[in-house]
Structure formats: structure tokens, C-alpha cells
A and B are shown apart, each in its own frame.
Chain A
Amino acid sequence: MGASIQINGITHRFSGKGPNVLENLVFDMAAGRSTALIGESGCGKSTLLHMLAGLMLPTEGCVRINGQQVTKPHPEWNMMFQRPGLYPWLNVRQNVALGLQFTGKTEALAQRVDEMLALVGLSDKGAARPQDLSGGQQQRVALARSLAVEPDVILLDEPFSALDAFTRRNLQLEVRHIAREKNITLVLVTHDIDEALTMGDSVVVMGRNPGTFQSVMNIDLAYPRNPIDPKFAKLREDLMARFKHSVEGQPQARQTSFDAIANNTNKIKTPAHERPLDQNNGRSSSLPLNR
């Protein structure tokens, strides 16, 4: 279980003559480790994650998982999105079983679904319709759906950003805990520094235009991590400084936007297509980098 991920010199353009959205990304992730990618909106985090999942191919370079080049989606690596994407015509149990059915792993299906529902604490919701669950519960169902196929890698694209602070924190701790238990390699995309520090063994800071890896920080803190731990606070400061550096290092001066972040004012708006569709706009005690 667990799989290593190699990002081998990825450069990406969406159109032949267009600008590089990602430029010469190189990084290795060891099996079972958790890597958080943080960066401003539009720096190419989602694009990179889609490539790790095999949902998109890079213009240059490649991704290898356990040495095997990624060319298409695979049950061994699985992506979770900001919206859970549960099928409304299926109940919770059927949604959890969906990945197993799509991947053809249908032996002892009912038993696996029971296990997964218990794991995410929704054993009593099996017959419910996903529409009737809260945002956090829906994301738990999506987590159970992903875990059911026993993936080596889970890729998370801001999956908690539409949730309230309390639910979000619980899910962060839970996902990290489960991934450690099952030795699943995690890649987490976020614009929330506390989320990166709560879940990452290392945090990669990305720059923008084109998207690049600016710096890497190893987080040597025991799990479960607590934001009021002085060491956590120290690391947060360090990470903020690195982030500031990455923003200042941009071709266009982005000082103003960084000030907005540092003052925790909501001047920088997330583009409409990235805004959560769900009821609760995630509000957090942590510092949102771009909202």
C-alpha cells in the first residue's frame, strides 16, 4: 500500500501558443507521505492535480506513480473535489458503492460499504438521500466512496473549503488520520495555510504566472496537530514569510494582494467558478490566502 509520486519536469499550456500555466515542475513524494500544495488562486494547483489523477495530460513531462507513467485515471489513485458530486438518484449506500461498481471491485460489496460508512461515522445514514445530508456529511460520503476502492493515492482539490470551520477541522484531522492508518499517499491542494499545516508532512509553495514550485517546507510536528501549539504558530509565520516571498517574486508586483491577505480582509475574490455552490461559505479562523 501507498505509492510514490514523481512529478517529472511538467510544463503545461492549454493552447499551442498560449502562455505556460505550469512551468518545469519537479518533485518527488514518498509513499504514504502527505504533501500540501498552497498558492494563490489561478496558479495551476487544480491543473496539476488533474494531471496527477490522469484526468489531464501535461504538454511536456510526465507523472509517475510507483514508477508507472500516468496516462489515464486509475482506481489506485483517486481525486476528491470541492463539490462531493454525489449522485442524487442514489442513496448514501449506493453512492459509496459507486466507485466499487465503476472499477469492477464488486466482491463483498455490501460488507465493504458497511465498513466505509462506519469509518466516516455515517452508519445510520445509509438509506438517506445525499441531498438531505449536510455539506460535511456529503463530503464524508464522498470520502467513503473514494476509500472504498482502496486507493494508494488520494488527491484532494480544496475538498473542505465549502464547509464551516468546525466541520472542516474535524474532516482535516480525520482524513489525515485515516490516510496514515491505511498508508495512503495524500496530495492536498489548498489556499488555507492552517489546513496545509494540519495535514501536510511537507508544504509546497507555488508561484503564479507561470505556476512554479517556489519552496518546500517540511513540517516536523506530531499528529494530530493543533493550531494553538506554539510550534504550529511558528511554522505558520515561516510559511507566511515564504508565501510572501513567492508573491513578491512574481513578475507583476503583487504586493497589494499580499497585504490584503495578511490583513485578512476579503479583498481578493475567488473567481466565480471556484466559489462554493453550497450553502455555507467557508469561514475560518485561519488565514484564507485568496478569498
Chain B
Amino acid sequence: MSHSISSADIAARPRAMPWIKLRRQLMGKIAYPLIGLAILLAFWWFGGYLIASNPATQAFAGFAPAQALPQAWQLFISGTLMGTVLPSLYRIGMGLLWAILVAVPVGILVGASPVLRQITGFPFQLLRMVSPLAWMPIAVLAFATWDGAIIFLIFMAALWPILFSTAFAVQRIDPMYFKIARNFGASPLASLQRLVLPAIAPDILAGFRLALGIAWVVLVPAEYLGVTSGLGYAINDARDILAYDLLAALVLIIGIIGYLLDSVIVMLIRYLGWQNSD
């Protein structure tokens, strides 16, 4: 038995690598998430079992996966889901759009000007701490339509994360980059286009991802307001008609859509990011 390393050993090693890598990828991408999902389902099932087996809560037995999952599937194939989801997506889209339109320019100004930063520091931190839902009475007064009021609430929720990450990103731009631009006689507009915006794009997206998460959470309670469409309304409605299986199905769908939206942003961050060093 020889302990010397033969050329066959050396050749075999790189060939073994892809297998290990593939297995690790399969585990990471599929197996582990499936285990997590199974645990979640088990808890759901167990909760449903507890509810169904207690005479006091038996009326809510529809929450269990056995009732809710077929209901979710039914919603999906019957097409009613689209009618419920689209108004919600519209409101969240408009709220986020307004938030970007305001937060990015203001964030750039605040990031670029120390004086403006001093002036806005306290009021912005104060406003940021107010729960977006606390604006509800004011929104209802200020906007003629329910849609307008909800979009305003989403806007208030999404504004701050985008604004703060934009301002912070502008402050962090290497002064050398500005010197290079100035050295070539770059106009302010050209500097904005070729230097500031690309430099801060990854941070804007990271702020946008935070904003989307908060906005999606705020959306459902905001839709408890007068509107007669959207996911929040549908949940309220399901509760009123005691359709607990439908209610649970909607909760599930809200979670799934939120996850999908977040995944899209994560993909965008990967695509546009220049900061990752791999």
C-alpha cells in the first residue's frame, strides 16, 4: 500500500468536485426550503386540528390546510383571484411609484447638502417613526377617493426607507469620482446621469426592497377602509360571511405574492449591483 500521491489521485479530485457542488446546490435550493415548508404546513395543520377539536372554536375549522388549500386552488383557477389581486397591485404600484418620485430626488438633495441634512434631520426622523396607518384619518379627509387615501398610506410607508438609503448612498460616494468628473468639465446633469445615479442605484434598490416589504404589510389593513376591492377587502368580506377557509386561503395568497414581489427585486438587485465583489 503506497502513500504517495499518484497522478490518478490528482486527476480524480477535480472530477469529484462538481458532484459535491451539485449536491450542495440541490440541498440548498430545493431540499432545505422544502423542509421549511413542511414544518410550516405541520404547524398549520396542527393549529387547524386544535381549533377543530375544541368545541368552542369548532366554527373556525375552515382555517385548516385541508379546507383552505382547495379553496386557494379554487380561487386561482376560477379567475376571481385576479379581480381581487389586481386592485391591490395597482394601489401598491402607485404608492411605490410616488414614493420613488419623491424620495429619490429629495434623498439626493439631502445627501448632497450638509445644511439640508441638518435642517431635515429631526423632522424626517420624527415623521419616519409615525406608523403609516396613523395617517389613516388624515388620508380619508384629504383624499376624495378611497383609492387615493390608500395610495397615500402606501406612499407614507414606502417613502422613508427609499429616502434614507438614497441620502446615505449619496454621502458615501467617493469624492475622487466627483474630482474625475469635474476634471473633464462634466455638467451637473452629466454628473448626475453618469456618476450619482449609477453610484447610488444599488442602495436605492435596497431601500426599495425594504419599502416594498413595509408597503405590502400596510396594504391589507389600509384596504379595510371603504374600498370594495383588493385583498384587504376580500379578507374583511370573508370574515363577515364566516368563510374561514376563504380567509385562510387569502392569507396564504398574500404571503405568496409578497414573496414573489420580493424575489423580483432581489433579482433586480443582483442584475444591477456592482458592489458585490465575486
Contact = CB atoms under 8 A, between A and B. Distances in A.
Interface stretch (B72-80, B171-179, B206-214, B252-260): B171-179
Nearest to B190: A102
Interface residues of A, number: 23
B177 A72 contact: no
Nearest to B185: A73
Given A81-B179, A101-B190, A102-B190, A87 B184 contact: no
B199 interface: yes
A149 B179 contact: no
Chain B interface, >50% SS class: helix
B183 A55 contact: yes
A55 B182 contact: yes
Contacts of A129: 274
B198 A99 contact: no
Given A83-B176, A87-B195, A131 B186 contact: no
Given A73-B183, A75-B184, A87 B198 contact: yes
Interface string B178-204: 011111111000100011001101000
A127 to B, nearest CB: 14
Interface residues of B, number: 20
Contact of A101 (B177, B194, B199, B277): B194
Contact of A89 (B180, B183, B186, B274): B274
A5 to B, nearest CB: 17
Listed residue (A78, A85, A90) with the most chain B CB atoms within 10 angstroms of its CB: A85
A149 B184 contact: yes
A85 B185 contact: no
B28 to A, nearest CB: 27
A276 B274 CA distance: 23
Contacts of B195: 87
21 contacts: A53-B183, A72-B185, A73-B183, A74-B185, A75-B184, A75-B185, A78-B184, A81-B176, A87-B177, A87-B195, A87-B198, A88-B274, A88-B275, A90-B198, A101-B190, A101-B194, A102-B185, A103-B184, A103-B185, A129-B274, A149-B184
Interface of B: 174, 176-177, 179-186, 190, 194-195, 198-199, 201, 274-275, 277
